[in-house]
Amino acid sequence: MATNSGSKSHRLPDDELALIRKYIHGCHILHYYNIVDAYGHLSVRLSESVFMMSRYMAPALVSSTDDMVLYDVETGEALQKDAPKGFSERFIHSEIYKAYPKVQSVVHSHSLEVVPFSISSTPLRACFHMAGFLGTAVPVWDAATVYRDDPLASNDMLVRSTGMGASLAKALGPADAEGLPKYPVALMRGHGFVATANNIEMAISKSIYTMQNAQIQRAAAGLSGSMEGVRFFSEREAHDAGLTAIAGAAKPWPLWVAEVKGHALYKNCV
């Protein structure tokens, strides 16, 4: 993100600095909790038509305003011609923002705990009270559905175009009464998952608890000898637990920020 006007530097408004500071903490928290490694990314909407992501770099190393890039929601392209290199999969974010105007933040993860559920016949579903938002089955988006319609597209499983991003966004289902996706999380076959929310804190919270639900579900299946032995949440339980978790989303955020602020790897210079 440009912080200079001509040859004279200027200070960004305090509200923008606060959002960038929160964004940087968010990138670090995602790494701290193994939601991302060198790959994966976080974005935040700035307006109806603009969203922000870091430049092409490992989330753990994002540290300053110079690492920020602004993108056009409609095209998924950087607003500034001289912007630093961005992520090829920025279209995951632009197309979700385009499809769901109330979504304010998106996480894309390659979590090794979650990927197995994207390639097996066993659905990821809520069995942990902090992950009630997952409901009774998390949708799985398959990139192969796009390849069949576009034989010239690369089959590298990456979301490199608006068309692929739009296809993924549809997997999140119709918008609910609040204008958010019916399914806040969708898995990507052999790739990872996306999590959506109405703010950065909730997008990160949903990402962390999606991974933890996957860990618990697999552990329970191991203890019982099969997935059939796992007692999952009913639709009502998932719904109500999801509402409770959302209501308490602010509680873990100060802890998560304190954890990364006290870690030598993470730098936040904003």
The one-letter code for the residue type at 240 is D
Closest by CA position to 56, among listed 69, 47, 65: 69
Report CA 36 to chain centroid distance, whole Å. Answer: 10
Residue 89 designated active-site: yes
Residue pair 149/261 in contact by the 8 Å Cβ criterion: no
Q: Which of 16, 48, 77, 89 is catalytic?
A: 89
The secondary structure of the chain in percent helix, strand, coil, rounded to multiples of 5, reads 40, 15, 45
The one-letter code for the residue type at 148 is R
Euclidean distance between CA atoms 6 and 2, whole angstroms? 10
The three-class DSSP label of residue 85 is coil
Phi, psi of 19 (to 5 degrees): -70, -40
Euclidean distance between CA atoms 119 and 240, whole angstroms? 29
Residue pair 203/41 in contact by the 8 Å Cβ criterion: no
Catalytic residues: 89
